[in-house]
Chains A and B, each alone.
Chain A
Amino acid sequence: MLNLNDIMETINMIQSENLDIRTITMGISLLDCIDSDCDKSCEKIYNKITRLAGNLVKVGEDIEKEYGIPIINKRISVTPIAMIVAASGGDPVKYAKALQKAADATGVNFIGGYSALVHKGFSAGDIELIKSIPEALSETTNICSSVNIGSTKSGINMDAVKIMGQIVRQTAEITADRDCIGCAKLVVFCNAVEDNPFMAGAFHGVGEPDCVIHVGVSGPGVVQAAIKKCPDGDLGEIAEVIKRTAFKITRMGQLVGTEASRRLGVPFGIVDLSLAPTPAVGDSVAHILEEMGLGRCGIHGTTAALAMLNDAVKKGGVMASSSVGGLSGAFIPVSEDAGMIDAARSGDLLIEKLEAMTAVCSVGLDMIVIPGETPAETVSAIIADEAAIGMVNSKTTAVRVIPAIGKKHGEELEFGGLLGSGPVMNVNMNFSPKKFIDRAGRIPAPMQSLKN
């Protein structure tokens, strides 16, 4: 029989340390839903999603009950809708509404994939879709949108960066009466991945199978508790502790993923090795960094601590899963992390530091509330900076900022649920990047040798 201490450890992780499976995400290809008529295409999309994902929520709940591990979200990612718009035509918002109808019918938390991939240029459907994003996110509640504007191999499409600054602002304005919630569902990527199970950036890449199950794990609280038990260890020992813990967390993801895939009769894709925080106490990535010895997340030393954490999570997780993918790493969404919220409120965590942190961890400037007066060109410049970090370092970076319309530095936005709440952070607007952004064009792809 199993060791009593092992059993207690697992139960403790779930009960007191917030171990959970953050999401089971079903990726669905919509390429076979293309039709010469927009309405017919929407109908096919609705039918395919409800046919394949009709049981997703129930299977998730059954597994949750049998294995005793919480599964927080059940989600769907679909082929970037810009591709469907390119062939089927019509108003892109109609597709968003069809996806919302499918989300309601299946009971999933989110559908991601109202997306366009424009890292080298725009093709048919891309501009139409991008321009419709504010309206689509305002008219729907459970649809997420993403746009990939750069990659290591193609450089950064600065035309798209310029437009996305405006789109982010428009999305905030059109949803200003709902705490600018639209922007929490919109992410701008560089080096977007095709098998990401996490929102808002999930979409189903064209290289993926017709239908597939991905799993995203969580568990910052478990890592923090494990480090707490090692108060005097050196950083090598701390790295070992994190690796061992990440291994255990990832095994849960692998188990749940294979079981969900078996019950749904859909191939298993990947486990995303992530530390995804929630606003709940004891579920914070910032608190892990503080447990490692930093007085507060955001001070000097934060980048180094985060780099080690991120690397150790991957090293521990890789062996625990048959297939790893997605974004894999520690997430640092400010409004979704109790420790980050505190550090941002007290002024110890600044956007400039967050930008540095994104160079060494998963994704990028995430869930950051900026002043409502931030001009579109400054939002574009934030996107360009972040994309440059991703492009040069061959990693995924992203920007999900929320201009808090009508609010200033020091005030707060309240999104509720997993999205949390965030203080408006200071953005340097002493001088304008307008000339730089207005030049548009393309930043060429970087050298892959002479790395210095």
Chain B
Amino acid sequence: MRTIISVIGKDTVGIISKVSNICTECNVNIVDITQSVLQDMFVMVMLTEISGANCSFNEFSDKMKKLGEDIGTDIRVMHEDIFNSMHRI
């Protein structure tokens, strides 16, 4: 299953490395990554493949959420299909 990890908040040093470290820990493959500054907010979006993960979706999602809380940004892990179904016919 493919998931979208979104990171929204203020830009800080090492933010991408921290997120990708958790991916490595959990054996989650990063398929694509893009980042931008939208309305003064740092936005990073990562497309990942989690079928080979060594932990459950919930554990992975909780780890990301905790990282977000630690560094003061909003990090969400969401199934890719929610975006596909909303924006593609």
Q: Which residues of A contact B (CB under 8 A)?
A: 1-11, 15, 65-69, 248, 251-252, 254-255
The smallest beta-carbon distance between A377 and chain B, in angstroms, is 50
A255 touches B85 (CB 8 A): yes
The smallest beta-carbon distance between B46 and chain A, in angstroms, is 10
- Provide the bound-state CA to CA distance between A7 and B6, in Å: 8
- Provide the bound-state CA to CA distance between A251 and B61, in Å: 24
* Number of interchain pairs (Cβ within 8 Å): 66
Q: Which residues of B contact A (CB under 8 A)?
A: 4, 6, 8, 31-32, 34, 36, 38, 43, 45, 47, 57-58, 61, 74, 76-87
Find B85's partner among A5, A9, A251 (CB 8 Å cutoff).
Answer: A251
Given A11-B8, A68-B76, A68-B77, A2:B82 Cβ within 8 A:
no
Given A4-B34, A4-B45, A68-B76, A254:B58 Cβ within 8 A:
no
B58 touches A65 (CB 8 A): yes
- Provide the bound-state CA to CA distance between A213 and B77, in Å: 26
The A contact surface, by secondary structure, is: helix
Given A1-B32, A10-B87, A67:B82 Cβ within 8 A:
yes
The smallest beta-carbon distance between A60 and chain B, in angstroms, is 14
**Which residues in A have their C-beta under 8 angstroms from that of B82?**
10, 67-69, 252, 255
Find A252's partner among B38, B77, B86 (CB 8 Å cutoff).
Answer: B86
B45 touches A6 (CB 8 A): no
A selection of 16 A-B contacts at a CB cut-off of 8 Å is A1-B47, A2-B4, A2-B80, A4-B34, A6-B83, A6-B86, A6-B87, A7-B6, A65-B61, A67-B78, A68-B79, A68-B82, A248-B86, A251-B85, A255-B81, A255-B82
B87 touches A3 (CB 8 A): yes
Closest A residue to B33 by CB, please name it: A1
The smallest beta-carbon distance between B7 and chain A, in angstroms, is 11
**Which residues in A have their C-beta under 8 angstroms from that of B77?**
68
**Which residues in A have their C-beta under 8 angstroms from that of B45?**
1-2, 4, 7
Find A11's partner among B6, B34, B36, B85 (CB 8 Å cutoff).
Answer: B6
B34 touches A1 (CB 8 A): yes
**Which residues in B have their C-beta under 8 angstroms from that of A5?**
38
